[in-house]
Amino acid sequence: MSLASLESVAVLDKESAQEVLFDINFTAKPGQLIALVGPSGAGKSTIIQLVARLYDVRKGSIVINGIDVRDATLDSLHGAIGIVTQDAHMFRDTIRANLLYAKPTVTEEEMVEALQSAQILPFIQSLPQGMDTMVGENGYRLSGGEKQRLAIARLLLKAPDIIILDEATAHLDSTSEAMVQKAFQIALKGRTSLVIAHRLSTVQRADQILVIDKGRIVERGKHSSLLANKGLYAKLYNTQFAKKSN
Ligand SMILES: Nc1ncnc2c1ncn2[C@@H]1O[C@H](COP(=O)(O)OP(=O)(O)OP(=O)(O)O)[C@@H](O)[C@H]1O
Ligand SMILES: [Mg+2]
């Protein structure tokens, strides 16, 4: 997956005069998990898209390791950042080839290990053509959860310094959800990550939760202190997170 291909998928509307984000300011230290939560349309996806440079900021800056992302090459950004969204893009090729895109030098053994960690190995082994199964356009139609787990396997092979995730899981049943959750936890371990969080387990583990509303960070902190604040986070918690057992 290259940023260039993601760019062509994203709908870029550079002419838009509408401002959607205001005074967004936060720092992720190496290894930290930053969780973004907030109502639909709040600006969460826009923030992660700015970090991956699918859009550019008009004011202010996004800095990774002291370098403004606008001064970095797409190649170096692509190397440093791994993204898994709800509709992970698969190239119209075999599963093996899709994994090779992530890391051209990968061995068969490493692939199997990544698929295992991503909780997708038994499924792939159950396919008549295994890793030679064609996916992507007109290929084997992977379910949302299967696609997400395959995308996580790719992420594990790529081993980027920064991981960006959109956890959205509305379409997953509970078994698939549990597998994706486990795969995410393995992928995030020890990495700097920015996650649009939909799971209680993620917000509870987060080093910092940013509560986004109408393009602004309206609350920030850890799960327990935000909950005690009885503000928007507490409200979201009661409607979104508390209902789910994970
Ligand atoms: N190119 C654009 N020009 C103007 N407004 C935009 C553009 N793209 C998105 N928006 C608006 O920006 C706001 C934030 O959108 P964003 O996708 O970041 O929300 P979100 O928090 O990710 O929501 P959800 O939880 O539904 O995914 C929305 O009101 C959206 O309609
Ligand atoms: Mg979104």
For residue 46, the ligand 1 atom closest to its alpha carbon is 18
219 in Cβ contact with 232 (< 8 Å): yes
Give the whole-angstrom CA distance, residue 246 versus residue 234: 17
Q: Is the pLDDT of residue 87 over 80?
A: no
Q: What is the pLDDT of residue 182?
A: 86
9 vs 36, higher pLDDT? 36
Dihedral of the alpha carbons of 188, 193, 196, 201, in degrees to the nearest 10: 40
Nearest ligand to residue 50 Cα: 1
| Domain at 3-7+20-194+221-241: CATH code | 3.40.50.300
CB 185 near ligand 1, within 6 Å: no
CB 43 near ligand 1, within 6 Å: yes
Closest-CA residue, ligand 1 atom 26, reads 40
CB 18 near ligand 1, within 6 Å: yes
Predicted TM-score (pTM) of the model is 0.85
For residue 13, the ligand 1 atom closest to its alpha carbon is 1
What element of type H or E holds 213?
strand 208-213
> Which residue ranges make up each domain of the chain?
3-7+20-194+221-241
Least confidently predicted of 30-34, 148-152, 194-198, 242-246:
242-246
Q: What is the mean pLDDT of the chain?
A: 87
Distances (CA, A) of 93 to 23, 24, 170: 43, 39, 27
Distances (CA, A) of 203 to 36, 98, 124, 211, 221: 9, 31, 31, 11, 10
Give the whole-angstrom CA distance, residue 149 versus residue 144: 9
117: how many CB neighbours lie within 10 A of its CB? 19
Q: What is the pLDDT of residue 9?
A: 39
117 in Cβ contact with 186 (< 8 Å): yes
37 in Cβ contact with 223 (< 8 Å): no
47 in Cβ contact with 24 (< 8 Å): yes
200 vs 28, higher pLDDT? 28
CB 240 near ligand 1, within 6 Å: no
3 in Cβ contact with 54 (< 8 Å): yes
Place of tokens 């990968």: 106
